[in-house]
Homo-oligomer: A and B are copies of this chain.
Amino acid sequence: MLLKIKTLDIEATDYPLVLMHKDDAKFLGVRRLGRVNIKLGDKEFVAVVDLTEKLVNKGEVGLYEYLCNKFDTKCGLNAEVTLASPPDSVHFIKKKLDGNTLAKDEINNIIEDTVENRLSDIELSAFVSAVYTRGLSNEEVINLINSMVNTGQTLNIKRKPIFDKHCIGGVPGNRTTMVVVPILGAAGLTIPKTSSRAISSAAGTTDTMEVLCDVSFHKNEIERIVDKIGCCIVWGGGVDLAIADDKLIKIRNPLGLDPESLLLASILAKKKASGSEKVVIDIPVGKNAKIKDANFARKLARNFITLGERLEMEIKCMITYGEKPIGKGIGPSLEAIDVLKVLSGDGPYDLREKSCEIAGLLFEMGGKAPRGRGKEIAEQMIDSGKALSKFRDIINEQGGNPKVKIEDLPIGSYNHTVKSEIEGRIDFMDTRMINMIARACGAPDDKGAGIFFHVEKGERVKKGQDLFTLYADKETKITNALEILDGSPIGVEKVIYDIVEGELSL
């Protein structure tokens, strides 16, 4: 049927959605979230239909602005609208829901349609649910990864072999990337590191690195930097290494669905797209970490390694303690300070240790150190000042001030220190609550906001001793954060809780 185009000044979805009047849709036989083919002169595309009785009249079809721009179309022109079938990939999603194995072409089809925005939110949700309930075989995961790599950009770094590290996430302050990359770079290894921003934590590597320099670079800029100095620490979102994965994550997040096979595919597709050949994956295990259980972590590690072999990547996994934050500071600037201190041979012991373990393992994998001696070489890179110097090269290449000092970094002008009310030992540090408090202080958007810990887990404290300080740009944010502090994020263990006097009834 011929419908007059009406431009809608909205861009709410990724896929081509058009609005039709209920009566027209009924006449055409298309239901809500069904599909129509839209023909505009010699251009043609398929769109998903939402229904209205108000925004467009009978005889009109509402096109969102980006579609009009894309097809260079104006209000009032006619479009020929006909009923269209869903893309084949919808059948393949159904096939997976039915518990069948998907062939390579079928997975390719789903991923291509995801990238080209041909699938609606409910279809992508059904795909994520299908993978969650039915799982994917190793063969399917490999095909999924290759599809993701083929539909995205790939980094072409000339310096080989390419090293990489990745953390599954969930530990506040875990900024090992910013220590490992300059250590490797200082030893002449190639590590083009792309990182993410915080989702629910107080800061991601990208948020922290951004305190020191730019992080958004295009593919060719990343290639130039890495070919020049061997390494970088940039935002992965600036280069579409696995655009299909990003689109699936948008559906997985609100549903809270983290199917193991999509987790594996997500990480490995990005590693493969950046050309990684030798990779260490850090899997923190802890009550509030992404992985709660050590047995599952070991199973996941084995899957990483097996899939890595098929993708021609050597992968080693480190299963790490995820029940406490790493470093003293939580929040972009406070974490950057920890990193600068560690690279200067000082700073929090745990951040130095963990980073040197990871860098050391990569040295051993690259044949740069004999087995069991990698960590030593990593420590030498720090103690010789070479790693710090390399870090300043990275800052320089990424447009920051290479001479930056700790005092230059912005710290929230309001602060509040919480003291211990009792004498005892630091028993636990609730990582989830630590993230919540740091976010209430303003992290990661306020770079200087966050928490600084004066004590470590296991340490003995006296009554009245400083436990931690909150930093924020506004006083109200300190107040907000203190409200959350109703339950303490760190627990002081008292040997004797209470003494009950009186006679015992035996």
Residues of A within 8 A of B (CB): 8-13, 19, 26-27, 29, 31-34, 50, 52-55, 65, 86, 90, 93-94, 97, 99, 120-126, 128-130, 132-134, 199-200, 250-251, 253-257, 439, 445
**CA distance in complex: A10, B19 (Å):** 10
Does A122 contact B255, Cβ atoms closer than 8 Å? yes
Does A12 contact B129, Cβ atoms closer than 8 Å? no
Does A33 contact B254, Cβ atoms closer than 8 Å? yes
Partner of A31 from the list B32, B128, B254 (CB cut-off 8 Å) is B254
Does A97 contact B257, Cβ atoms closer than 8 Å? yes
| A179 → chain B closest CB, angstroms | 27
Does A97 contact B132, Cβ atoms closer than 8 Å? yes
* 13 more A-B residue pairs beyond the given contacts A10-B55, A12-B19, with a C-beta to C-beta distance below 8 A: A9-B54, A9-B55, A10-B52, A11-B55, A26-B445, A34-B254, A90-B255, A97-B129, A122-B122, A122-B254, A123-B255, A125-B125, A133-B134
**CA distance in complex: A12, B33 (Å):** 11
Does A439 contact B29, Cβ atoms closer than 8 Å? yes
**CA distance in complex: A447, B253 (Å):** 47
**CA distance in complex: A121, B124 (Å):** 11
| A496 → chain B closest CB, angstroms | 38
Partner of A126 from the list B9, B11, B12, B255 (CB cut-off 8 Å) is B255
A250 contact set on B, CB distance < 8 A: 31-33
Which residue of B is nearest A93, CB measured?
B255
The 3 closest A-B pairs by CB, nearest first: A129-B129, A125-B125, A122-B125
Does A200 contact B257, Cβ atoms closer than 8 Å? no
20 contacts between A and B (CB under 8 A): A9-B54, A10-B19, A10-B52, A10-B55, A11-B52, A11-B53, A11-B55, A31-B254, A32-B254, A33-B254, A54-B65, A86-B254, A90-B255, A94-B255, A97-B257, A120-B254, A121-B125, A122-B251, A122-B255, A123-B125
| A110 → chain B closest CB, angstroms | 14
**CA distance in complex: A93, B129 (Å):** 10
| A130 → chain B closest CB, angstroms | 6
Partner of A54 from the list B11, B29, B130, B256 (CB cut-off 8 Å) is B11
Partner of A129 from the list B26, B133, B199 (CB cut-off 8 Å) is B133
Does A12 contact B50, Cβ atoms closer than 8 Å? yes
A134 contact set on B, CB distance < 8 A: 133
| A330 → chain B closest CB, angstroms | 15
A55 contact set on B, CB distance < 8 A: 9-12
Which residue of B is nearest A254, CB measured?
B33
A8 contact set on B, CB distance < 8 A: 10
Partner of A97 from the list B50, B133, B254 (CB cut-off 8 Å) is B133
**CA distance in complex: A35, B9 (Å):** 23
A128 contact set on B, CB distance < 8 A: 126
| A448 → chain B closest CB, angstroms | 15
